[in-house]
Amino acid sequence: MTQYTLASQIAFVHLMSRKKQTFIAALGVTFGISVFIAMIGMMNGINDLLEDLTLSATPHIHMYRDIQRREPSVMQRLLGNTPLIEVHHERPKNEQKKLRNALTMLDYIRKDPDVYGASPLLTAQVFYQYGQHEIGGTIAGVDILEEHKLFGIGDKLIGGNLYDVLTTDNGIIIGSGLAETMQVNVGDKINVTTVTGTRVLLRIVGIVQMGIGAIDNSRSYSTLHTAQRLLQKDKSFITDINIKLRDLYKAKDKSQLYSNLFGYKAEDWETANASILVSFTLRNTITYSVSVALLIVAGFGIYNILNMTIYEKMRDIAILKATGFSGGDVKAIFMIQALSLGLGGATAGLLFGLLMSYGISKIPFEAKGVINLTSLPMSFSPLYYAIGLVFGLLTTAAAGYLPSRKAGKIDPVEIIRGK
Amino acid sequence: MKEENDIVLRCSSIVKYFTTPVKFKALNNISFTIQRGEFLSLIGKSGSGKSTLLYVLSTMDTDYEGTLEINNTLLTGKTLNQLSDFRNEHIGFVFQFHFLLPEFSCLKNVMLPALKLGKKSEKEVEHDAYEKLRLLGVADQALKTANTLSGGQQQRVAIARALINNPTIIMGDEPTGNLDKTNSDIVFGIFRELTADYGQTIIAVTHDQDFAQRTDRIIELSDGELLTSNR
């Protein structure tokens, strides 16, 4: 260890003897790391926001009857699977979308220790009557308490009261976009027509804003009972079950399990949101490639400066070796210089990155409609600061390695006799 | 102080080739021994191989045939790291140019080899370094950087550095080659004193006949061959 303290002493004196070069070399790393931190913070801020929005609004597992499920035709069932028979535009049987034994299934699912909660859902396609206009949309009949537990719907109300939906006959919680379009408020009544032609008068008891335009402009919530009555169905009529797990990464396995167990389609959130997940990966890829490119440039700076230093310090290296410093000692002297530049530069980079991130997070950014935002989203996750530090050290170590090895291999006789 | 049968360096049948630009025998079958406390000069015309021989003896040049022993340790065939450690402890160098590290004070320059050896604490090393600088009459320059000193002073600091680990042998490559008459005499005087009073063994390559004549023993090389051993 003592040999490294001596090597670091020499390395430090070398660095301090040419402060300007040292500063510029470290500045390269600082720049690379701070841009990395700011970019990754922004990208992850966006990712987190989207993930938050989508995951809070979507279940981990969505179970429903898949009417697209293809069944063999009558002819095929009779004659077996032969290419002689081809049936075009096959239509499904007149099957109800209902999940059979939904309540038993719910009980079963809720008993699973991995499951955080399961909420039954009945979606009714409706037209909201707004004067002579009809606005297409849906009413989700839900167990409102379970829905609150799973998706925090109560926290997203911008008007009214969640529990009123339980106590009010034909009460609904309407999407904020819808409410704005129809110029209605809590306490107002609206007419709703179902696809089968039933017309019902509903009372608005709350206004909900999920933050996603597509949902807020079309969806309302009511009790299961109200929705069943709207569709003129019995009390066991449930079309979907939404499940949230304690660990969302178990969704894939669990959905498989439930699908096999109950014979209904169970879709996990990763499949349902594949396009969003791809965009996460894309953003991360861009960030990492830009940062790596910046760091490579910084690395070349360090490589050049070390190479120059070694050229200038040939004689010193020769005399160190003559007086008993080994090749390894000399290598250590220059590696320590490279790593100090990396450590110093990266630390400054993290600080600058933090400042930049803070600045960016304060930039006003109004985005209404698709996503509700007031300023740019920003992630301050310490993980990326750790990655930045490791990045900086790795690049400088890589940049310093070749020159240091060269210094370690200098033949003192050649230098001393060459004079 | 001198013990006649105390051999500190023995080289046998040293042969060395240079391969560039053409293969050329630089040293041919050199064998001799050096006693402890001897002050020896290596002389010869330019290109006679005297410096080449010194660097073989110094362990820095490992590309030779034959064997080299210093302090009863066979050095031929050791690894570079072993040789570094050996040089650190047993060999002190004085070159034609001082080769002091420009960023460090004279004191630190003297201390470095001892810090590398790591046998003493930094305090003790500093004390030793002052001792050596005092011995060479440059203690008052200790905290200055090397390039603010005169040539003679620089060379004396370099000698102090060579002495810091109390080496078995001091090797000089034209140690007075870059000095004027007065400073040459001072440096010679120091070498003389070191051998006489401290039993220090010194080998110096020189082309200064006057310098060589005043040493204990002269080894003369010509075209890579040992001419006289003066004993």
Which among A241, A272, A303 is the end of a domain? Answer: A272
Segment B46-102, tens digit of pLDDT: 888 888 999 999 998 888 999 999 988 899 889 988 999 999 999 999 988 888 998
Beta carbons of B99 and A2 less than 8 Å apart: no
* A6 contact residues in B (CB cutoff 8 A): 112, 115-116, 118
Number of domains chain B is built from:
1
Phi, psi angles (nearest 5°) of residue A360: -65, -40
| Low-confidence stretches of chain A (pLDDT beneath 50) | 1, 419
pLDDT at B5: 61
Q: What is chain A's Cα-based Rg?
A: 33
Evaluate whether residue B149 is within a structural domain. Answer: yes
* B104 contact residues in A (CB cutoff 8 A): 13
Beta carbons of B116 and A3 less than 8 Å apart: yes
Q: Which residues contact A371 (CB under 8 A, 6 or more apart)?
A: A49, A50, A53, A211, A212, A213
pLDDT at B229: 61
Which residue has better confidence, A376 or B201? B201
Residue B1 pLDDT greater than 50, yes or no: no
Are residues A48 and A143 part of one domain?
A: no
B71: left (phi over 0), alpha (psi -120 to 50) or beta: left
Among residues A202, A7, A188, the alpha carbon closest in space to that of B118 is found at A7
Beta carbons of B116 and A419 less than 8 Å apart: no
Instruction: Report DSSP letters for A26-93, one per residue.
Output: HHHHHHHHHHHHHHHHHHHHHHHHHHHHHHHHS-SEEEE--TT-----HHHHHH-S-TT----S----
If DSSP codes are grouped into helix, strand and coil, which group holds residue A418?
Answer: helix
Are residues A244 and A101 part of one domain?
A: yes
Asked if A149 and A243 touch (Cβ cutoff 8 Å), the reply is no
Are residues A407 and A355 part of one domain?
A: yes
B145 touches chain A (CB under 8 A): no
Residue range(s) defining the domain that contains residue B133? 41-50+79-228
* Torsion, Cα of A108, A111, A115, A118 (10° steps): 50
Are residues A247 and A121 part of one domain?
A: yes
Evaluate whether residue B192 is within a structural domain. Answer: yes
Mean predicted lDDT score pLDDT of chain B: 88
Cα angle value B50/B52/B56 (rounded, 5°): 115
Q: Which of B54, B56, B60, B111 to mutate to test the interface with A (most CBs of A within 10 A)?
A: B60
Are residues A298 and A406 part of one domain?
A: yes
Beta carbons of B103 and A17 less than 8 Å apart: yes
Beta carbons of B116 and A323 less than 8 Å apart: yes
A319 touches chain B (CB under 8 A): yes
Evaluate whether residue A379 is within a structural domain. Answer: yes
Among residues A336, A275, A269, the alpha carbon closest in space to that of A63 is found at A269
Which residues in chain B (201-230) have CB-CB distances under 8 A to chain A? none
Segment A149-183, tens digit of pLDDT: 888 888 888 888 888 888 888 899 999 888 988 88
Read off the CATH number of the domain in which B99 is found.
Answer: 3.40.50.300
CA distance A404 to chain B (A): 17
CA distance A3 to chain B (A): 6
Beta carbons of A6 and B112 less than 8 Å apart: yes
Sign of CA dihedral B174, B176, B179, B181: negative
Are residues A232 and A216 part of one domain?
A: yes
Phi, psi angles (nearest 5°) of residue A314: -45, -55
For residue B192 the two structure tokens come to: 């003389």
Nearest to B93 among A3, A315, A323 (CB): A323
Nearest to A417 among B51, B112, B116 (CB): B51
Q: Is B70 exposed, middle or buried (0-12, 13-18, 19+ CB in 10 A)?
A: buried
Beta carbons of A326 and B58 less than 8 Å apart: no
Are residues A130 and A237 part of one domain?
A: yes
- Distance of alpha carbon B193 from alpha carbon B203, whole angstroms: 14
Asked if A227 and A140 touch (Cβ cutoff 8 Å), the reply is yes
Beta carbons of B87 and A13 less than 8 Å apart: no
B174 touches chain A (CB under 8 A): no
If DSSP codes are grouped into helix, strand and coil, which group holds residue A374?
Answer: strand
Q: What is the DSSP letter of B41?
A: E
CA distances from B18 to A323, B23, B66, B114 (A): 25, 6, 15, 34
Our measurement of the distance from residue A408's CA atom to the centroid of its chain's CA atoms, rounded to an integer in Å, reads 47
Beta carbons of B113 and A419 less than 8 Å apart: no
If DSSP codes are grouped into helix, strand and coil, which group holds residue A12?
Answer: helix
Number of domains chain A is built from:
2
For residue A262 the two structure tokens come to: 């109950």
A-chain residue closest to B159, CA distance? A323
Beta strands in A101-209 (DSSP E): 115-130, 133-142, 157-160, 171-175, 189-194, 199-208
A159 touches chain B (CB under 8 A): no
Beta carbons of A416 and B173 less than 8 Å apart: yes
Q: Is A210 exposed, middle or buried (0-12, 13-18, 19+ CB in 10 A)?
A: buried
Evaluate whether residue B71 is within a structural domain. Answer: no
CA distance A398 to chain B (A): 24
Nearest to B80 among A3, A14, A326 (CB): A326
Q: What is the DSSP letter of B166?
A: -
Asked if B218 and B32 touch (Cβ cutoff 8 Å), the reply is no
Evaluate whether residue A70 is within a structural domain. Answer: no
Phi, psi angles (nearest 5°) of residue A192: -130, 135
- Distance of alpha carbon A329 from alpha carbon A323, whole angstroms: 12
* A19 contact residues in B (CB cutoff 8 A): none
Are residues A187 and A155 part of one domain?
A: yes
Nearest to B60 among A316, A320, A413 (CB): A413
ipTM confidence score: 0.89
Evaluate whether residue A89 is within a structural domain. Answer: no
pLDDT-derived band at B3, boundaries 50, 70, 90: very low
Partners of B204 in beta bridges: B41, B172
Q: Which residues contact A369 (CB under 8 A, 6 or more apart)?
A: A213
pLDDT-derived band at B2, boundaries 50, 70, 90: very low
B-chain residue closest to A2, CA distance? B118
Segment B124-177, tens digit of pLDDT: 999 999 999 998 889 998 899 988 998 889 999 999 999 999 999 999 998 888
Q: Is A333 exposed, middle or buried (0-12, 13-18, 19+ CB in 10 A)?
A: buried
- Rounded to a whole number of angstroms, the distance between the first and last alpha carbons of chain B is 20
Which among A272, A304, A326 is the end of a domain? Answer: A272
Which among A212, A247, A272 is the end of a domain? Answer: A272
Are residues A122 and A212 part of one domain?
A: yes
pLDDT at A368: 62
Residue range(s) defining the domain that contains residue A227? 95-272
Nearest to A323 among B80, B96, B113 (CB): B113
Quickly count: other Cβ atoms within 10 Å of residue A90's Cβ.
9
Sign of CA dihedral A221, A224, A226, A230: positive
Evaluate whether residue B2 is within a structural domain. Answer: no
